[in-house]
């Protein structure tokens, strides 16, 4: 049984005439009659009572008509959905994220994307940073949002979607907090630095160490915290200072911690969007654009995975 049989049957059932149905379908009457006979033979039941005055539906025909119309409607919706997906207007999109660091950009991007692509079902999966590259490669996710230091595979397409300054959190009574001079990253060379443990924020400690090494020193690591909130609390208690991207630091203010911008040659904190070079989805570029607009990154440069880890 094919959709053609259902279309022919519905036309005859609605016209109650093989001749009028053939005209409506723009086919010859003999092939139409033959298709209906084939359908009845397959079902094992007559669908029409035929007489000189025309045709009328049998009980089986009336029941079959409801199902045939529903099937044709669902097939038409499936065709339109497939065409919308091909145009990048419908479908499914699975995102892999590193969690808290993406909160500054992801909610706004999701809202904007949903407004422009209401027929797209977006799933967000929080993953470990080191899982994202493999998940892209094996197709578990369509797009990854991570820090620039994430270990993506060679050939992955990568675009920066957010760049933020780096800030330091200081106990309110700290000498650098009282100073009116700009704080240089090198001013922190002798300061104990509170950090978030790798098991709680994969990649955070790597980022802190990379930022400090670029300034020419290795950080003096103080105690590790189990969350960014715990890190702020430890800074307030005087265990050390803490480094954070500006977009994260803005949401971590408490009365006993002073947040200051760092000046000098400080590399910006960067979030990137990454996807497989084999992806043909039109939804991926559309969501990347939504991310880029939220992060206010003009004319993003396509990067190489190997460059990000250098």
How confident is the model over 165-179, as pLDDT tens digits? Answer: 999 999 999 999 988
**Burial letters 154-187, b for 16+ CB under 10 A, else e:** eebbbbbbbbbebbbbbbeebebbeeeeebebeb
Instruction: Please state the pTM of the whole predicted model.
Output: 0.68
Indicate the burial class of 291 (C-beta count within 10 angstroms; 0-12, 13-18, 19 or more).
Answer: buried
Cβ atoms of 269 and 160 within 8 Å: the answer is: no
**According to the model, what pLDDT value does residue 155 have?**
82
pLDDT at 100 over 90: no
* Number of H-type helices and E-type strands within the chain: 12, 13
Please tell me the distance from the alpha carbon of residue 246 to that of residue 185, in angstroms, as a whole number. Answer: 14
CATH 3.10.180.10 for the 90-163+270-308 domain, yes or no: no
- To the question of domain 3-86 being in CATH 3.10.129.10, the answer is no
Q: Is residue 158 a contact partner of residue 304, using CB atoms and an 8 Å limit?
A: yes
- Work out the number of other CB atoms within 10 angstroms of the CB of residue 209: 15
Distance, CA of 256 to CA of 242 (rounded, Å): 13
Residue extents of the structural domains in the chain: 3-86, 90-163+270-308, 166-263
Helix (H/G/I), strand (E/B), else coil: 291: helix
Output the pLDDT for position 308: 44
| Pairing label, strands 183-184, 257-263 | parallel
Rounded to 10 deg, the angle between the 283-295 and 106-116 helix axes is 130
The DSSP call for residue 268 is P
CB–CB of 174/258 below 8 Å? Answer: yes
Taking residues 148-161, report their average pLDDT: 88
At 255 the pLDDT is 81
Cβ atoms within 10 Å of 265's Cβ, excluding its own: 11
pLDDT, residue 298, reads 67
Summarised one tens digit per residue, pLDDT across range 225-280 is: 998 889 999 999 999 999 998 887 766 667 889 999 998 888 888 899 999 988 88
The CA-atom distances, in angstroms, between 212 and each of 37, 102, 196 are 81, 23, 16
pLDDT (0 to 100) of residue 192: 96
pLDDT in tens, 57-66: 999 999 999 9
Confidence grade of residue 183 (pLDDT, cut at 50, 70, 90): very high
Tens digit of each residue's pLDDT (9 = 90 or more) over 286-309: 999 999 998 877 665 555 554 444
What is the C-alpha to C-alpha distance for residues 115 and 197, in angstroms, rounded to an integer?
37
3-class DSSP state for residue 289?
helix
Cα angle: 277, vertex 281, 284; to 5 degrees:
80
Q: Report how far residue 119's alpha carbon sits from residue 88's, in angstroms, rounded to the nearest whole number.
A: 10
The CATH code of domain 166-263 reads: 3.40.190.10
**H helix or E strand, kind and range, residue 79:** helix 59-86
Domains 3-86 and 166-263 share a fold: no
| Mean per-residue pLDDT of the chain | 87
């Amino acid at each position: 049984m094919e959709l053609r049989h259902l279309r022919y049957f519905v036309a005859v059932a609605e016209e109650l005439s093989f001749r009028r149905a053939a005209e409506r379908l723009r086919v010859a009457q003999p092939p139409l009659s033959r298709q209906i006979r084939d359908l009845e033979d397959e079902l094992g039941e007559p669908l029409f009572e035929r007489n000189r005055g025309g045709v009328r539906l049998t009980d089986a025909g009336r029941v079959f008509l409801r199902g045939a119309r529903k099937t044709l409607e669902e097939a038409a919706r499936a065709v339109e959905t497939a065409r919308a997906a091909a145009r990048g207007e419908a479908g499914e999109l699975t995102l892999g994220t590193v969690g808290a660091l993406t909160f500054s950009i992801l909610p706004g991007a999701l809202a904007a994307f949903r407004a422009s692509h209401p027929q797209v079902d977006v799933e967000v999966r929080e993953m470990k940073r080191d899982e994202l590259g493999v998940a892209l490669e094996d197709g578990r996710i369509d797009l990854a949002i991570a820090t620039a230091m994430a270990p993506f595979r060679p050939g992955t397409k990568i675009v920066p979607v957010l760049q933020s300054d780096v800030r330091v959190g200081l106990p309110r009574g700290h000498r650098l907090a009282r100073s009116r001079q700009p704080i240089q990253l090198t001013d922190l060379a002798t300061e104990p630095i509170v950090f978030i443990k790798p098991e709680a924020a994969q990649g955070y400690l790597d980022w802190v160490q990379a930022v400090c090494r670029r300034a020419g020193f290795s950080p003096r690591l103080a105690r590790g915290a189990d969350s960014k909130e715990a890190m702020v609390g430890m800074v307030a208690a005087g265990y050390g200072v803490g480094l954070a991207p500006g977009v994260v630091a803005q949401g971590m203010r408490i009365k006993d911690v002073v947040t200051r911008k760092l000046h000098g040659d400080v590399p910006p904190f960067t979030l990137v969007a990454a996807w497989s070079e084999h992806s043909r989805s039109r939804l991926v570029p559309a969501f990347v654009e939504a991310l880029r607009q939220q992060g206010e990154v003009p004319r993003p440069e396509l990067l190489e995975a190997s460059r990000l880890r250098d």
